[in-house]
């Protein structure tokens, strides 16, 4: 194979970023078109064995046989039902009635994002939901436009780190595959992590960040003066809304606690949540047949888009492996000077850069399978790495210049927001997020709180630098790409 083929794969990744930004096409279309282009160039050059592309159907079948993917339509259903039923309105009004002081509207917006963000699936979906539900009510409470935008932006990213979210579920599956590759390559006696491990690892950091956001929202708005007149003040909740909000919060906490403690699997929790919302809609009369048909149509549309994205990303990652791009990236990660902390920071920075143009799903499906397996060969703590990836994604989405959540919020609100004012409103939350990321980087134990003794006893011994270089050399000097089916499905 020509030495230029791995570099062609890097060019394809750059082309994906340009295509997503410049064409306006769905990311899945861009990924699939880029994969086809890379395969065609490789085949026409004679450097890529065309028969290797024949394993794509088998890879897709194995991928779609994963039981964990059942959670995708279930979580999408939960998000669609929450948006259709008066749950968000009841939660916001009830929270506003319970909390005292002038900061209550801002704190209520953060709480609403924390409760609904994990159910909405993606950052973009959370921005849309919060813009529709919370933004008009925040405006009626006299919150300035820049502050409203900051609240929506921060709250929409809470679904990235607060379990059990769809982002955590899919990242957990990707980390399982990446860790399997790393353990197979090194021969370490690690217990391969799963989705539950990622949930448990994210609990403490997510709780710390949520607490910090609530404190900051209260502190900086406790003496807030209303922004102009408030002719449409938010009404207090009715008795029915208060009961609905209470039941909803209890149900969410039970599902979260059940998943976190291992009593429920993610798919089971999503199924229980979706079923409960359906029954509530039928009993309350909020889901007549025409509305139910619209909800199911929305669920099928979004689920189909996510599965299309998964198929397109799997196709592109196969092409990148055939081109040898993953081996080139592995060689670069092996050559990073310094210890495991330095290598982890550099890989996280690369992921953060891609998060400026790609959504969390695209990063999990495309970037994580390329950069995380070689990192886990060098860094044995896969649970720590998984949580750091989540925090790096969240930090990138909050980038005030071109962060995904910031840009989505500015687009959805459809009103000019002065950058200086938005930066002032976002600044405390950015500082808190940076402090949390630094704390987790320097204190991996934050991701292992509550971990069982059996898991700790299975930790692998450290690998010497000489042995590390030897094993990396064995990986990157293989005459053929790594086995394409090395990552088993769950």
- Of the two residues 388 and 397, the one the predictor is more confident about is 388
- The whole-model pTM stands at 0.81
Residue 486's closest CA among 141, 269, 177, 216?
177
Tell me, what DSSP letter sits at residue 51? G
Question: What tens digit of pLDDT does each residue of 319-353 get?
Answer: 888 888 888 888 899 888 888 899 999 999 999 88
For residues 435 and 345, is the Cβ–Cβ distance under 8 A?
no
Residue 149 near residue 413 (C-beta atoms within 8 A): yes
pLDDT digits (tens, 9 = 90+) for 70-83: 878 888 888 788 77
Q: What are phi and psi of 395, to 5 degrees?
A: -65, -40
**Around Cβ 24, how many Cβ atoms within 10 Å?**
8
> pLDDT category, 37, cuts 50, 70, 90?
very high
Positions of E strands within 58-105: none
Q: Determine contact, residues 314/59, Cβ cutoff 8 Å.
A: yes
Task: Compute, in degrees rounded to 10, the torsion defined by CA atoms 260, 432, 144, 100.
Answer: 60
Domain residue ranges in the chain: 5-476
Q: Tens of pLDDT along 51-61?
A: 777 888 888 88
Mark out the alpha helices in 285-415 (DSSP H runs). Answer: 289-323, 325-334, 340-354, 360-362, 368-378, 382-397, 404-413
List, for residues 4-15, the tens digit of each pLDDT value. 788 888 898 889
Q: Which residue has the higher pLDDT, 404 or 291?
A: 291
Q: How large is the average pLDDT for residues 122-143?
A: 79
């Amino acid at each position: 194979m020509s030495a230029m083929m791995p570099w062609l794969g890097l060019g394809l990744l750059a082309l994906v970023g340009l295509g997503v930004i410049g064409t306006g096409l769905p990311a899945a279309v861009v990924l699939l078109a880029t994969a086809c282009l890379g395969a065609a160039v490789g085949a026409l050059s004679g450097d890529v064995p065309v028969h290797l592309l024949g394993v794509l159907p088998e890879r897709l079948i194995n991928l779609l046989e994963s039981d964990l993917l059942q959670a995708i339509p279930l979580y999408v259903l939960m998000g669609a039902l929450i948006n259709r039923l008066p749950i968000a309105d009841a939660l916001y009004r009830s929270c506003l009635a319970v909390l005292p002081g002038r900061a209550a509207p801002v704190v209520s917006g953060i709480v609403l994002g924390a409760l609904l963000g994990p159910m909405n699936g993606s950052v973009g979906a959370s921005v849309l939901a919060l813009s529709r539900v919370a933004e008009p009510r925040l405006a009626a409470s006299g919150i300035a436009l820049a502050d409203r935008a900051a609240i929506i932006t921060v709250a929409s990213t809470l679904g990235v780190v607060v379990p059990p979210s769809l982002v955590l579920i899919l990242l957990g599956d990707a980390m399982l595959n990446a860790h399997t590759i790393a353990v197979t390559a090194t021969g370490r006696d690690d217990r391969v992590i799963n989705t539950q491990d990622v949930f448990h690892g994210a609990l403490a950091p997510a709780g710390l960040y949520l607490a910090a956001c609530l404190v900051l929202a209260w502190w900086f708005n406790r003496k807030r003066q209303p922004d102009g007149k408030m002719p449409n003040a938010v009404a207090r909740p009715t008795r029915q809304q208060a009961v609905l909000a209470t039941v909803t919060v209890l149900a969410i906490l039970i599902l979260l606690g059940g998943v976190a403690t291992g009593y429920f699997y993610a798919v089971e929790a999503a199924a229980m949540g979706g079923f409960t919302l359906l029954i509530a809609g039928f009993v309350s009369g909020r889901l007549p047949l025409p509305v139910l048909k619209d909800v199911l149509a929305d669920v099928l549309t979004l689920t189909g888009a996510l599965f299309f994205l998964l198929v397109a990303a799997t196709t592109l990652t196969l092409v990148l492996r055939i081109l040898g791009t993953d081996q080139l990236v592995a060689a670069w990660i092996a050559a990073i000077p310094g210890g495991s902390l330095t290598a982890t920071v550099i890989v996280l920075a690369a992921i953060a850069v891609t998060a400026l143009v790609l959504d969390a799903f695209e990063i999990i499906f495309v970037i994580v399978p390329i950069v995380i397996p070689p990192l886990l060969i060098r860094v044995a703590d896969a649970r720590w790495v998984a949580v750091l990836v989540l925090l790096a994604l969240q930090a990138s989405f909050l980038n005030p210049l071109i962060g995904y959540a910031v840009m989505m919020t500015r687009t959805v609100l459809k009103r000019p927001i002065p950058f200086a004012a938005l930066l002032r409103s976002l600044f405390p939350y950015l500082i808190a997020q940076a402090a949390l990321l630094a704390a987790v980087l320097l204190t991996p134990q934050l991701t292992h709180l509550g971990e069982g003794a059996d898991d700790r006893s299975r930790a692998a011994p450290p690998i010497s630098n000489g042995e590390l270089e030897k094993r990396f050399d064995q990986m990157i000097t293989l005459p053929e790409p790594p086995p394409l089916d090395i990552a088993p499905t769950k």
